[in-house]
Amino acid sequence: MKLSPLQIAQLAKAATDQGFDLSPVEEGNWLRCRSTQFPERVWLIVADGGYQLACDSQRLLDELAREGQIVRQAASLSSDAKGTVHLAEYGELYRLLGRVTELAKTAPDRLVEEFVAATQSMPESTEVERLVKQRVGQDIFRNALIAFWQGRCAVTGLAVVPLLRASHIKPWADCESNQERLDVFNGLLLAPHLDAPFDGGWVTFDDAGRLVKSPLLDDAAMQLLGVTSEMKRTHLAADHRPYLEYHRQHVFKHASA
């Protein structure tokens, strides 16, 4: 059923408010929305007693699925759309559009572009200048992790953003490219009592997200730190696993030979 002018206005407002700033276009029974800030597109419709959002990015849909959304095939759309999410309420659609925007902005190539734009005029002839440039990259990385993890510790759920630390899984110095350094899947947003042990290799995580304690860290120290083996990361993506494997092999403190 074709959208009414009132429905188009309602959907367009939600999309525009949440970062899809180009004029929406009717496409069949759907409203296609785009942004000047990222290439991912969404399609919106009022249907089945609620709303549907379709997207052309499998990466974004996979992340939404890990966050609890039910993603279905987009049978009534062009082949560009990879799946749809059904929302019962307008407020849910509004919030989901904001989440899509957050995730789209955290794509590694987008972060690299931001880093290059911010540092292209910076000299790099001295160690101090290189550290200043690195600090710019780490600030971009931190902001991206805050968006990706929705301002919560990836393990405890602590939502006091000033306390949270952007922790690289594969250390900045070990990364082979800016693409790796600024990849949100190469990072965890952690509470301070987890960041230091993880950064130092005293704890790591397996591919299921379970915390693994170094044999060099005794139980008494774990208790004093407030860290337990029952701790587990929230949703884990396949793209996290190569970085976690690196952390387990090269950062984690194994038993002495």
Distance of CA 256 to the CA centre of its chain: 36
pTM of the model: 0.86
Domains and CATH numbers, the chain: 5-105 (3.90.1150), 108-251 (no CATH)
Q: Is 70 left (phi over 0), alpha (psi -120 to 50) or beta?
A: beta
Torsion (CA) 57, 60, 65, 67 in degrees, nearest 10: -170
What's the rounded mean pLDDT across residues 142-166?
95
- Give the per-residue pLDDT at 15: 96
Q: What is the pLDDT of residues 64-102, one digit of tens each?
A: 999 999 999 876 776 789 999 999 999 999 999 999 999
pLDDT tens profile 42-51: 999 998 789 9
H helix intervals, the chain: 5-17, 58-66, 90-105, 108-119, 127-148, 178-181, 192-199, 219-225, 241-246
Neighbouring C-beta atoms of residue 129, cutoff 10 Å: 12
The mean pLDDT value for 178-190 works out to 95
